[in-house]
Chain A
C-alpha cells in the first residue's frame, strides 16, 4: 500500500520568512496530493491540492510542487504570518486503478510555528 513520509516534524520560522514542508510517497499510481491545515482543536481543512498532470500550483502565499519521477511533493508558504501556525499534513491518493489505493494516506504532520 501507499506510504507517505513527511519532513520536518516541527518547523519554526520568523514571521515574514518562507516555510517549506516536504513529502515523499511510494505508490507511483498515486495522482492526487492534497495538503491540509489543522489548527489547535479544529478539523483538518484543505488548503491546496495538486493532481499528477500538473507540476506546480499556486494560491496567493501558498504553492505546491510535484515531482512524479522522484515521487515527492512540497508545500511552500511565503511571507509567513502568525495565523499560519498550525499542523500541516500532506496526503496522497490513487486513482483506483490499483485495488485499494483510493484511500487518502496522510503523512505524520509538521507543526509549524511562526515566531513574531
Chain B
C-alpha cells in the first residue's frame, strides 16, 4: 500500500510569489490535514479536509488556502509569500474515523528568499 505522497519535496520561491503544494493520501483515506513545521514551533495546524470540505481551520492568515478533490488528493496554496513562510509543510491522511492513526508524508520544504 503506497504511503502519503507529497510533491514537490523541495521548493525555492521569491517573496511575493505564490506556491501550490500537493498531497496524495493513502488509498481509502478521506481526511487530509496540513501542518507547518518550523524549528522550535512544533507542528502548527493549518487546515483539515474531509470529503472535499474544509472541516477545521487553524490560525493562519487568508494567504494560506487549500482544497480537496473527489479522489481525496489535496492541495494547499500560499499567496504573496513572505520570508517567514519558509518551513516544512507536512500533510497527514487518516480514515474517516478521527480515532485512527494519521500517516504523514515526507513533507515539502519551502524556502522563501
| Residues in chain A within 8 A of chain B (CB atoms) | 31-32, 34, 36, 42-46, 49, 51, 89, 93-96, 100, 102-109
Chain B 11-55, CB-CB to A under 8 Å as 1, else 0, gives 000000000000000000001010100001111010010100001
| A32, B98: Cβ atoms closer than 8 Å | yes
Please give the number of chain B residues whose Cβ is less than 8 angstroms from any Cβ of chain A in the complex.
Answer: 24
Considering only CB atoms, which chain A residue lies closest to B59 in the complex?
A1
Considering only CB atoms, which chain A residue lies closest to B44 in the complex?
A106
| B56, A102: Cβ atoms closer than 8 Å | yes
Cβ of B29 to closest chain A Cβ, rounded Å: 14
| B43, A44: Cβ atoms closer than 8 Å | yes
> Do A103 and B104 form a contact, CB below 8 Å, given A32-B98, A95-B98, A95-B99?
no
| A89, B42: Cβ atoms closer than 8 Å | yes
- Dominant secondary structure of chain A at its interface with chain B: strand
Contacts of B107 in A (CB 8 A): 43
| B45, A94: Cβ atoms closer than 8 Å | no
Cβ of A14 to closest chain B Cβ, rounded Å: 26
Q: Which of A31, A32, A106 contacts B43 (CB 8 A)?
A: A106
- Chain A to chain B: the 4 pairs with minimum beta-carbon distance, closest first: A108-B42, A103-B56, A106-B43, A32-B99
